[in-house]
Amino acid sequence: MMRYLLSKMLADLFIVTSLLLVFLLIVEDWHPGLVSLWLNLRLFLLIGGGAGILSLLFSQEHGKIK
Amino acid sequence: MFICGITNLNFMQRQNFVKLILWLWRALLIAGAVLLLLWLYNNNLVASGTWTAEKDFCQETNKSILTSPLTDPISGLYPADRVTASGIDSQGRCEQDFFAEPVYFDINIPRSFDHVRLKIYYQNTSQPLLQIGLAKVGQLSDDWSFQLQPLENQYFDKLNWFKINKGNITLWQKNKQFNTIEQFVNNIPSNQRVATFYYDLTSEAIKNPKKVIQWNYNTPMQYVDYVISTYQPPQQVGDLKFGQADFFITPDFSNGRQITFMFSAPNLAKAQQPIKVYKIIAELDREPSGWSNFGAIISNFWTSLWNKLNQ
């Protein structure tokens, strides 16, 4: 069950980070510097990508809630 | 203990527990995303109206892969063929040298500003004249125009003439004729040479225009009797000099995202000693954002969005 929970939580983190990343990239494209002056977008890519991969890995094993 | 507690729950209780944790997690994520966006908005709004950026040239030496290139708002000096890489001097201080001029640096700004005060810590042993300029945007590299301000003028600093200061105006007299700057400005001698340096005399005040010249580093001081200027000599801070310059940022000088400055030191390439820059502090200001101008801010935002979409 812990793996299932972790997998779901990582999947949520992946979705939120990806949506945030897309939004921030659009804002940055509209006005260069508005985001990159304060944040490193590579960090979002790393967090989102890492969460997505880990979520997939955990979901391979959890099966159903026992 | 936590895991033992979970394993003791029945199927329905476990399902409810997992749902609760997941909803709490989602609420946390959404709140975090909203807070992040609000933080970004607040940073870019600069509601207080003042924003300060600082560069001490140490960032280049400890750059992390996670640091955005723009999180250091003030760039290093460039072009590369006129500057050295940022380094550490014998006293362990970070600095960057330039040995030919002009050299430039940029400041990435979160929004447009009206005024900037630059404060610069540097070492200059050989260059008698050091100036700094704010560049106009959209100029070709060989056709840049600048708002120039003096940082250091050793010709004037070494001048052993009678000197009168009032506010930021200084008058040097080879032979003392006037007791105040007002007296001089109201009675400019028509038979003696007057040099101005970053100071404009009104045409009404000038009796003989042929005798009034704008000073530059080629002007021989023996042919000048008076010098009037808004130049303020740099302060000595330990073994460093501290100079400052003020600029008004009109729309010609900024696109709202970046401003560019230039260091000018005529004949620096012939000198043996480079100029070492230790720290640059930029204090930018604009009208503070508040409820009184909230409507104007929203209106400007939609206008710029509309213009962007129609490009």
Chain A residue closest in CA terms to B32: A16
* Nearest CA among B217, B275, B221 for reference residue B243: B275
In chain A, where the domains are located: 2-62
Q: How far is A17 from chain B (nearest CA, A)?
A: 8
Residue among B29, B73, B308 whose CB faces A37 most closely: B73
Confidence category of residue A66, pLDDT binned at 50, 70, 90:
very low
Interface test with B, best of A38, A47, A65, A66 (most B CBs within 10 A): A38
Q: What is the pTM of this model?
A: 0.80
Residue keyed to tokens 């000088």: B253
Chain center to CA of B144 = 17
The pLDDT assigned to B228 comes to: 93
Helix/strand/coil for B10 = coil
Please tell me the distance from the alpha carbon of residue A51 to that of residue A57, in angstroms, as a whole number: 10
The pLDDT assigned to A63 comes to: 53
Beta-carbon separation of A2 and B18 below 8 A: no
Please tell me the distance from the alpha carbon of residue A25 to that of residue A32, in angstroms, as a whole number: 9
The pLDDT assigned to B63 comes to: 58
B160-175 in b/e form (b: 16+ CB < 10 A) is ebeebeeeebbbbbbe
The pLDDT assigned to B200 comes to: 87
Beta-carbon separation of B40 and A35 below 8 A: yes
Contacts of B194 (CB under 8 A, 6+ apart): B188, B201, B211, B212, B213, B224, B225, B226, B227, B228
Contacts of B48 (CB under 8 A, 6+ apart): B288
The pLDDT assigned to B140 comes to: 52
List, in sequence order, every residue forming a beta bridge with B119; answer none if it has no partner. Answer: B244, B281
Please tell me the distance from the alpha carbon of residue B282 to that of residue B277, in angstroms, as a whole number: 14
Please name the residues between 9 and 48 in chain A that touch chain B, using a CB distance below 8 Å: 9, 12-13, 16, 19-20, 30-43
Beta-carbon separation of A8 and B22 below 8 A: yes
Helix/strand/coil for B195 = strand
Interface test with B, best of A9, A37, A47 (most B CBs within 10 A): A37
Do residues B193 and B221 make contact, with C-beta atoms less than 8 angstroms apart?
A: no
pLDDT tens profile A39-55: 888 888 888 899 988 88
Chain B residue closest in CA terms to A43: B66
**Does pLDDT of A20 surpass 50?**
yes
Beta-carbon separation of A37 and B21 below 8 A: no
**Does pLDDT of A64 surpass 60?**
no
* Mean pLDDT within A28-36: 83
Interface test with A, best of B19, B29, B308 (most A CBs within 10 A): B29
* Mean pLDDT within A29-36: 83
Chain B residue closest in CA terms to A13: B29
Residue among A2, A9, A33 whose CB faces B257 most closely: A33
By a Cβ cutoff of 8 Å, what residues of chain B touch chain A? 3, 6, 11, 14-15, 18, 21-22, 25-26, 29-30, 32-33, 36, 39-40, 43-44, 65-71, 73, 108-110, 257-258, 308
The pLDDT assigned to A65 comes to: 45
Beta-carbon separation of A33 and B26 below 8 A: no
pLDDT in tens, chain B (311 residues): 455 555 566 777 878 888 899 999 999 999 999 999 999 988 888 888 899 999 988 866 555 555 666 567 898 999 999 999 888 888 889 999 999 989 999 999 988 899 999 999 999 988 899 999 999 886 555 556 888 999 999 999 988 899 998 888 999 999 888 999 999 988 888 888 999 999 988 888 787 788 888 898 888 888 899 999 999 899 999 999 999 999 999 988 888 888 999 999 988 878 778 999 999 999 999 988 877 777 887 787 788 778 767 76
- CA dihedral A26→A30→A36→A40, nearest 10 degrees, is 10
* Helix %, strand %, coil % of chain A (to 5): 75, 0, 25
Q: What ranges make up the beta strands (E) of A1-66?
A: none
Residues of chain B with Cβ-Cβ distance to A16 below 8 Å are 29-30, 32-33
ipTM of this predicted complex? 0.87
